[in-house]
Structure 1
């Protein structure tokens, strides 16, 4: 029974995301109401709030899970794995975390975020929060090698480079798969520059 309930919740959540994204494309983000999104999935507005806090959360429906997986990978870093190797592995593994829904909505979601100020603000908030938490996790994973500034620099360099690579690729109209290839290429470049990180702590 528990498995059946979980599958039903997953189907409802997916229906809400798909319905919302369709409505955003047809009517615009601001013009779409929560009631309309709920109706598209054949649930009540009250039920909608069991899944999402608002419209912005639908667009970033997988952000929490991706961050949780990143933090878990950092916390369980492999013996002898350098900071650069770990961050590169996180990025390269990230593509495998996306389900078919995230992949199918990749380009559409990008265009939506780029054109809606409220979504740009939410994206920026999520970006800073995820970087801060990842840097904290990195410090904890390398307590004798990294201080907060070094961890922040490593995470900032990796996230900044990969995010910008994705934006430039998608802005050129390249397929979502090519954007991921650009992300991985940028990550490898950054990892090369981070090879010496962790060998010495920042001097006072």
Structure 2
């Protein structure tokens, strides 16, 4: 039996920390029956606890999935991996934004403005998503449900992630919000 897949399917999965968003996205990718390319945006660095989180994600993924690490060049990674009859899973926009805003050159910066490189990267990512030919699943955190954070750098991050999430949700064919491990359909 052959399964017919939509030529373009952009799925956006977002939720809070430990909401089940990555596991849900991985389940969707696995259930697609398509070859999967997993695009990881994390930079581990010297954080042992974060390295453990990444290890847990790696162990949970099927070994036959292709892994691409793209901490900065996400649009290029999407363009390279996307094709009809394939699935691309991006995990996650939250870390990608942190990588763009807090590079090794400006990690301690008190400047609360969006670097031009980040704006260019967002525009390139928008173009890559608009040109999707296969199935692309994008994971992101929803961090804007709380109070306005203290500190201009933190507010910049929260604001920019909110804007980035809105852009991806607008472009998506389906959007799901994960709450306590339960998927809530927002679109599609």
- TM > 0.5: no
Higher relative contact order (CA 8 A, sep 6+): 2
Structure with greater proportional strand content: 2
User: Scaled by the length of structure 1, what TM-score is found?
Assistant: 0.27
Instruction: Give the TM-score normalised by structure 2.
Output: 0.28
Query: Looking at CA atoms only, which structure, 1 or 2, has the larger radius of gyration?
Result: 1
